[in-house]
Protein backbone atom coordinates (compact mmCIF):
# COMPACT_ATOMS: atom_id res chain seq x y z
CA UNK A 1 0.00 0.00 0.00
CA UNK A 2 1.48 3.30 -1.07
CA UNK A 3 -0.09 5.54 1.65
CA UNK A 4 0.55 3.39 4.71
CA UNK A 5 2.64 4.68 7.60
CA UNK A 6 5.34 2.49 9.10
CA UNK A 7 5.99 2.35 12.88
CA UNK A 8 8.77 4.92 12.60
CA UNK A 9 7.08 7.21 10.06
CA UNK A 10 6.56 10.72 11.49
CA UNK A 11 5.09 12.21 8.34
CA UNK A 12 1.76 12.83 10.10
CA UNK A 13 3.41 15.78 11.86
CA UNK A 14 2.72 14.57 15.42
CA UNK A 15 5.38 15.24 18.06
CA UNK A 16 5.75 12.01 20.00
CA UNK A 17 8.42 13.35 22.37
CA UNK A 18 7.11 12.87 25.94
CA UNK A 19 6.97 15.84 28.29
CA UNK A 20 9.59 15.96 31.03
CA UNK A 21 8.52 14.94 34.50
CA UNK A 22 8.36 17.81 37.01
CA UNK A 23 10.76 17.79 39.95
CA UNK A 24 9.93 18.85 43.51
CA UNK A 25 12.14 21.92 43.09
CA UNK A 26 10.24 22.98 39.95
CA UNK A 27 6.95 22.56 41.80
CA UNK A 28 8.29 24.71 44.65
CA UNK A 29 9.36 27.42 42.20
CA UNK A 30 5.88 27.55 40.68
CA UNK A 31 4.31 27.70 44.15
CA UNK A 32 6.60 30.65 44.91
CA UNK A 33 5.52 32.49 41.76
CA UNK A 34 1.85 31.90 42.62
CA UNK A 35 2.27 33.10 46.21
CA UNK A 36 4.00 36.30 45.12
CA UNK A 37 1.39 36.90 42.40
CA UNK A 38 -1.38 36.60 44.99
CA UNK A 39 0.46 38.98 47.31
CA UNK A 40 0.70 41.49 44.44
CA UNK A 41 -3.04 41.16 43.72
CA UNK A 42 -2.58 39.50 40.31
CA UNK A 43 -4.71 36.49 41.24
CA UNK A 44 -7.47 36.08 43.82
CA UNK A 45 -7.32 33.90 46.92
CA UNK A 46 -9.62 31.38 45.24
CA UNK A 47 -7.42 31.24 42.14
CA UNK A 48 -4.35 30.86 44.34
CA UNK A 49 -5.86 27.89 46.15
CA UNK A 50 -6.87 26.21 42.88
CA UNK A 51 -3.47 26.75 41.27
CA UNK A 52 -1.54 25.62 44.34
CA UNK A 53 -3.46 22.35 44.38
CA UNK A 54 -2.79 21.91 40.66
CA UNK A 55 0.93 22.73 41.10
CA UNK A 56 1.38 20.17 43.86
CA UNK A 57 -0.39 17.53 41.75
CA UNK A 58 1.43 18.43 38.49
CA UNK A 59 3.21 15.53 36.80
CA UNK A 60 5.05 17.31 33.97
CA UNK A 61 6.83 20.59 33.35
CA UNK A 62 4.11 21.44 30.84
CA UNK A 63 1.47 21.16 33.56
CA UNK A 64 3.47 23.63 35.67
CA UNK A 65 4.09 26.03 32.79
CA UNK A 66 0.36 26.39 32.14
CA UNK A 67 -0.22 27.52 35.74
CA UNK A 68 2.12 30.52 35.44
CA UNK A 69 1.78 31.36 31.72
CA UNK A 70 -0.10 34.58 32.55
CA UNK A 71 2.18 35.64 35.42
CA UNK A 72 5.60 37.36 35.48
CA UNK A 73 8.52 35.33 36.78
CA UNK A 74 11.27 37.98 36.59
CA UNK A 75 12.72 39.31 39.80
CA UNK A 76 11.67 36.35 41.88
CA UNK A 77 13.51 35.97 45.20
CA UNK A 78 15.78 32.93 45.63
CA UNK A 79 14.40 29.64 46.86
CA UNK A 80 13.88 29.43 50.61
CA UNK A 81 16.23 27.22 52.61
CA UNK A 82 15.25 23.94 54.21
CA UNK A 83 16.04 24.90 57.82
CA UNK A 84 16.49 28.14 59.77
CA UNK A 85 17.80 28.09 63.36
CA UNK A 86 17.29 30.83 65.93
CA UNK A 87 19.21 30.27 69.17
CA UNK A 88 19.16 33.42 71.26
CA UNK A 89 19.75 34.47 74.86
CA UNK A 90 18.87 38.04 75.79
CA UNK A 91 17.87 40.75 73.33
CA UNK A 92 15.26 40.58 70.57
CA UNK A 93 15.04 38.70 67.28
CA UNK A 94 12.79 39.74 64.39
CA UNK A 95 11.98 38.36 60.97
CA UNK A 96 9.94 40.92 59.07
CA UNK A 97 9.43 42.39 55.61
CA UNK A 98 9.93 40.21 52.54
CA UNK A 99 11.73 37.29 54.18
CA UNK A 100 11.75 33.74 52.81
CA UNK A 101 9.83 31.22 54.88
CA UNK A 102 11.68 27.86 55.06
CA UNK A 103 10.21 24.40 55.48
CA UNK A 104 11.46 24.07 59.07
CA UNK A 105 12.63 26.27 61.92
CA UNK A 106 14.28 25.55 65.26
CA UNK A 107 13.72 28.31 67.82
CA UNK A 108 15.56 28.32 71.16
CA UNK A 109 14.91 31.35 73.37
CA UNK A 110 15.84 32.43 76.89
CA UNK A 111 15.26 35.95 78.23
CA UNK A 112 14.56 36.93 74.65
CA UNK A 113 11.58 38.04 72.56
CA UNK A 114 11.34 36.72 68.99
CA UNK A 115 8.83 37.89 66.40
CA UNK A 116 8.10 36.18 63.09
CA UNK A 117 6.07 38.60 60.98
CA UNK A 118 4.41 36.87 58.02
CA UNK A 119 2.63 39.99 56.75
CA UNK A 120 4.89 40.38 53.68
CA UNK A 121 6.81 37.10 53.91
CA UNK A 122 7.40 35.05 50.75
CA UNK A 123 5.81 31.64 51.33
CA UNK A 124 6.93 28.80 49.05
CA UNK A 125 5.67 25.76 50.99
CA UNK A 126 2.28 24.73 52.33
CA UNK A 127 3.60 23.93 55.83
CA UNK A 128 6.16 25.34 58.25
CA UNK A 129 7.28 23.08 61.09
CA UNK A 130 8.66 25.03 64.05
CA UNK A 131 10.42 23.12 66.85
CA UNK A 132 10.52 25.44 69.84
CA UNK A 133 12.32 25.39 73.18
CA UNK A 134 11.16 28.38 75.20
CA UNK A 135 12.84 28.78 78.57
CA UNK A 136 12.40 31.45 81.23
CA UNK A 137 11.70 34.79 79.58
CA UNK A 138 11.67 33.32 76.08
CA UNK A 139 8.61 34.63 74.22
CA UNK A 140 7.54 33.93 70.64
CA UNK A 141 5.12 36.09 68.64
CA UNK A 142 3.75 35.12 65.22
CA UNK A 143 2.14 37.92 63.20
CA UNK A 144 -0.11 36.25 60.65
CA UNK A 145 -2.20 37.25 57.65
CA UNK A 146 -5.32 35.70 56.09
CA UNK A 147 -4.58 32.18 54.86
CA UNK A 148 -2.07 31.38 57.63
CA UNK A 149 -3.15 29.02 60.39
CA UNK A 150 -1.19 28.13 63.53
CA UNK A 151 -1.41 24.65 65.09
CA UNK A 152 -0.09 24.12 68.64
CA UNK A 153 -1.51 20.63 69.27
CA UNK A 154 1.98 19.09 69.25
CA UNK A 155 3.40 21.56 71.78
CA UNK A 156 4.31 20.49 75.32
CA UNK A 157 3.66 23.29 77.77
CA UNK A 158 5.18 23.51 81.23
CA UNK A 159 4.34 27.14 81.99
CA UNK A 160 3.59 30.31 80.10
CA UNK A 161 0.56 31.32 78.04
CA UNK A 162 -0.47 30.31 74.53
CA UNK A 163 -2.80 32.72 72.74
CA UNK A 164 -3.83 32.01 69.14
CA UNK A 165 -6.03 34.44 67.19
CA UNK A 166 -6.61 33.67 63.53
CA UNK A 167 -6.42 36.32 60.82
CA UNK A 168 -8.56 34.22 58.47
CA UNK A 169 -12.29 34.12 57.93
CA UNK A 170 -14.30 30.87 57.78
CA UNK A 171 -14.04 30.71 53.96
CA UNK A 172 -10.39 31.73 53.63
CA UNK A 173 -8.29 29.00 51.97
CA UNK A 174 -5.24 27.92 53.98
CA UNK A 175 -2.02 28.81 52.18
CA UNK A 176 0.36 28.06 55.07
CA UNK A 177 -0.06 25.91 58.14
CA UNK A 178 2.45 26.65 60.92
CA UNK A 179 2.88 23.59 63.15
CA UNK A 180 4.49 24.28 66.52
CA UNK A 181 6.09 21.39 68.40
CA UNK A 182 8.61 21.17 71.22
CA UNK A 183 8.40 22.64 74.71
CA UNK A 184 7.44 25.89 76.37
CA UNK A 185 8.97 25.91 79.86
CA UNK A 186 8.50 29.50 80.88
CA UNK A 187 7.74 31.63 77.83
CA UNK A 188 4.59 32.85 76.09
CA UNK A 189 3.44 32.09 72.56
CA UNK A 190 1.16 34.54 70.77
CA UNK A 191 -0.22 34.28 67.22
CA UNK A 192 -2.21 37.28 66.03
CA UNK A 193 -3.05 39.34 62.94
CA UNK A 194 -1.07 42.48 62.21
CA UNK A 195 -2.32 45.45 64.17
CA UNK A 196 -3.79 48.24 62.06
CA UNK A 197 -2.01 51.56 62.06
CA UNK A 198 -3.85 54.69 63.22
CA UNK A 199 -4.39 55.86 59.62
CA UNK A 200 -5.79 52.43 58.64
CA UNK A 201 -8.09 52.44 61.63
CA UNK A 202 -9.36 55.93 60.80
CA UNK A 203 -10.05 54.93 57.18
CA UNK A 204 -12.19 52.01 58.38
CA UNK A 205 -14.33 54.13 60.72
CA UNK A 206 -17.94 54.60 59.59
CA UNK A 207 -18.66 58.01 58.00
CA UNK A 208 -19.61 60.62 60.59
CA UNK A 209 -18.04 58.67 63.46
CA UNK A 210 -16.63 60.86 66.21
CA UNK A 211 -14.28 58.14 67.45
CA UNK A 212 -15.96 57.95 70.85
Higher pLDDT, 164 or 3: 164
Whole-angstrom distance, CA of residue 133 vs CA of residue 93: 15
On the question of pLDDT at 112 being above 90, the answer is yes
Burial classification of residue 134, based on how many CB atoms lie within 10 Å of its CB (0-12 exposed, 13-18 middle, 19 or more buried): buried
pTM over 0.85: no
Higher pLDDT, 115 or 156: 115
- Secondary element (H or E) of residue 45: helix 45-57
Q: What is the 3-state secondary structure (H, E, C) of 53-66?
A: HHHHHCCEHHHHHH
On the question of pLDDT at 11 being above 70, the answer is no
On the question of pLDDT at 16 being above 60, the answer is no
94: nearest Cα among 128, 119, 123? 119
**Which letter does DSSP use for residue 21 in this model?**
B
Q: What share of the chain is helix, strand, coil (3-state, %, to 5)?
A: 20, 35, 45
Q: Give the residue extent of every domain in the chain.
A: 24-67, 83-193
Amino acid sequence: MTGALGPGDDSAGHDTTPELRASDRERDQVVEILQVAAGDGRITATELDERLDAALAARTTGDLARLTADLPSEGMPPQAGELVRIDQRFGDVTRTGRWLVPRRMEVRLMFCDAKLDFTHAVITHRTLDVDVDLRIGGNLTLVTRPGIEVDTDGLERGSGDIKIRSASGPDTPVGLRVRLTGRSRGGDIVARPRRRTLSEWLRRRPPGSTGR
